[in-house]
Each structure stands twice: as structure tokens, then as C-alpha cells.
């Protein structure tokens, strides 16, 4: 290796060092600590006791944990396709540069920048069966958050409402990277608007789609604040909105079973890593980065 190449390599490692230290301190170390806690019995008062795999054996045989995982899967299945479809439609509409587009961009992203807990409190009032704004508008009483069949779709609606503007901004950035010549060629060939969207826009947005899909699924599995403010995991036993993040919080800070909560967090981490790797494998050969 030449002297110049060694100097460039040393400079590259020197520039990477602060980032590597940050990743190690704030990502890897906490993960290792949580994995270590998951093999203990700890109530924050007594010293941790090593229990091996007991926490994992317990949670996989615990119906409440299995229900929470299933609720999180259903919640993700309800929110992600709707959010991505609406986000793409909004981005296409905004990209047409109609009057008032800049104001709409701000309005779309406002719910995302608000605190999820505050949004949950506001929507709990809106869904209130007695004094809520939604039932007053409909002129009939509907138990949006206490009906066993309506609770999960109701909280999923709030999640879609709060995140669709954020997602549309990523799609908008992707749309603005597509050369106009591609669309002009499609128009010359007589392609209709739906055909252009399906055959040109969607394939060329796959890099953005991959990023949005990965981050949205991770966020969906980690939703806690807004749902906890609206339903606290209910209604019913097991809770119809008892998502996995809320179950981890209850086990750690209400029941003070940190070892069991850490085991749940490790399982959630493994699920998210597996989903991300599967998505990466699916998109690897379907992404086109060069649009020149």
C-alpha cells in the first residue's frame, strides 16, 4: 500500500471515529445491557438475580405477551399500507405545484411534530362517547375506544393521520428526483395517468419506498404514547390495543419486572431486525438508483 493510500485510510478512520464512538455508546452498549438484564430477575430494589432463560420461557408461554405481539402485527397491518398509499397520493398531488402547496406541506407535517402523548389526549376527547366531538358530529353514540371491534381501528386511524404527512414528504423528495423527460416520453407514448403512476413513478420510487417501509414498520411496532393515552391497552382482557411497547412499559415500570420486560424488548428487537433483513433482501434487486 502506498504512503498516500495509507494516509487516506488513516484520515478516513479518523473521521469515522466520532460516529463509531457514538454508535457504540448510544446503540450497542444499551443493547448489550438490555440483553444482560433479560437473563435476570430484577425489581429495581433488590440486586439482579441470574435466572438464565427463565424469562424467555415464561413470556413465550404467557398469553398476554402473545396477544401483545399479535395486536402489534394487526396494528402494523392496518397502518402501514394505508399510510404509504395516502402518503404517495398526497406527494403526487403536492408535486403538481398547485396554488397553496407550501401551506399544505406545513399542515401535513404538523401532526408528526406534535407530541404523541398530547395527540392521544386530544383524540381521546374526540372519541369520547358522551362529550366527544366525533359523536356530536355524527349525532349518535359510538363507543370508539371501548368497543372490542372498534378500538384497534380507531387508534390505527390516529396513527395514520399523524404519520401520513411525514411519509408524503419523503415521497415528494423522491418524486422530485425523477427526470421530467421520463414523463414526457410516457405522454408521447400515450400512457394514461394511472399507467404512468404504476409503471414509472412507483418503480423509480423504490429506494424511497424501501426507506419509508423500514422506518414505518419500526415506528409502528414501537408506538406507545398515543395508544396509552387513549386506551391504556384496553378494552377487554387481553387488551385489544395492548401493543408490545405498552406491555414492555407495564412490565418494567408498573409491575417492576425488568428482567421480563427486557426479554420482551429483546424479542421485539429480533423481530424488527428479521423484518428489516427480509425487506432488504426483497428490494435489493428491485431498486434502481441511476435515473440519468
Contact of 142 with 188, CB cutoff 8 Å: no
Question: What pLDDT is recorded for position 255?
Answer: 94
Tell me if the domain spanning 63-285 has CATH number 1.10.3720.10.
Answer: yes
Question: What pLDDT is recorded for position 27?
Answer: 87
The reported pTM is 0.87
Question: What pLDDT is recorded for position 290?
Answer: 55
8-state DSSP, 62: -
Question: What pLDDT is recorded for position 187?
Answer: 85
Tell me the torsion sign for CA atoms 185, 190, 194, 195. Answer: negative
pLDDT (tens digit per residue) in 227-247: 999 998 889 888 999 999 999
Contact of 146 with 235, CB cutoff 8 Å: yes
Question: What pLDDT is recorded for position 292?
Answer: 52
The three cell numbers of residue 120 are: 392521544
Domain regions of the chain by residue span:
63-285
In the chain, which residues have pLDDT < 50?
none
Question: What pLDDT is recorded for position 165?
Answer: 87
CA torsion 252→256→262→267, rounded to 10°? -70
Question: What pLDDT is recorded for position 272?
Answer: 93
Amino acid at each position: 500500500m502506498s504512503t498516500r493510500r495509507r494516509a487516506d485510510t488513516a484520515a478516513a478512520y479518523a473521521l469515522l471515529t466520532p460516529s463509531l464512538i457514538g454508535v457504540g455508546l448510544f446503540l450497542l452498549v444499551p443493547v448489550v445491557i438490555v440483553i444482560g438484564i433479560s437473563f435476570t430477575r430484577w425489581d429495581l430494589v433488590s440486586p439482579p438475580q441470574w435466572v438464565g432463560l427463565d424469562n424467555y420461557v415464561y413470556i413465550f408461554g404467557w398469553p398476554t405477551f402473545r396477544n401483545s405481539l399479535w395486536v402489534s402485527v394487526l396494528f402494523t397491518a392496518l397502518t402501514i399500507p394505508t399510510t404509504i398509499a395516502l402518503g404517495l397520493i398526497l406527494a403526487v398531488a403536492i408535486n403538481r405545484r398547485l396554488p397553496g402547496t407550501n401551506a399544505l406541506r406545513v399542515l401535513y407535517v404538523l401532526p408528526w411534530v406534535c407530541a404523541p402523548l398530547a395527540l392521544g389526549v386530544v383524540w381521546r376527547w374526540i372519541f369520547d362517547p358522551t362529550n366527544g366531538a366525533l359523536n356530536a358530529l355524527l349525532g349518535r353514540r359510538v363507543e370508539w375506544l371501548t368497543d372490542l371491534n372498534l378500538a384497534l381501528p380507531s387508534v390505527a386511524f390516529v396513527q395514520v393521520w399523524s404519520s401520513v404527512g411525514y411519509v408524503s414528504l419523503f415521497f415528494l423528495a423522491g418524486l422530485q428526483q425523477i427526470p421530467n423527460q421520463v414523463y414526457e416520453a410516457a405522454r408521447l407514448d400515450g400512457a394514461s395517468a394511472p399507467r404512468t403512476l404504476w409503471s414509472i413513478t412507483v418503480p423509480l420510487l423504490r429506494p424511497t419506498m424501501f426507506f419509508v417501509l423500514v422506518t414505518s414498520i419500526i415506528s409502528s411496532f414501537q408506538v406507545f404514547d398515543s395508544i396509552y393515552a387513549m386506551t391504556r391497552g384496553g378494552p377487554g382482557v387481553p387488551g385489544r390495543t395492548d401493543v408490545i411497547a405498552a406491555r414492555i412499559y407495564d412490565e418494567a415500570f408498573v409491575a417492576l419486572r425488568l428482567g421480563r420486560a427486557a426479554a420482551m424488548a429483546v424479542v421485539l428487537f429480533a423481530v424488527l431486525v428479521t423484518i428489516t433483513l427480509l425487506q432488504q433482501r426483497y428490494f435489493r434487486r428491485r431498486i434502481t438508483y441511476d435515473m440519468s
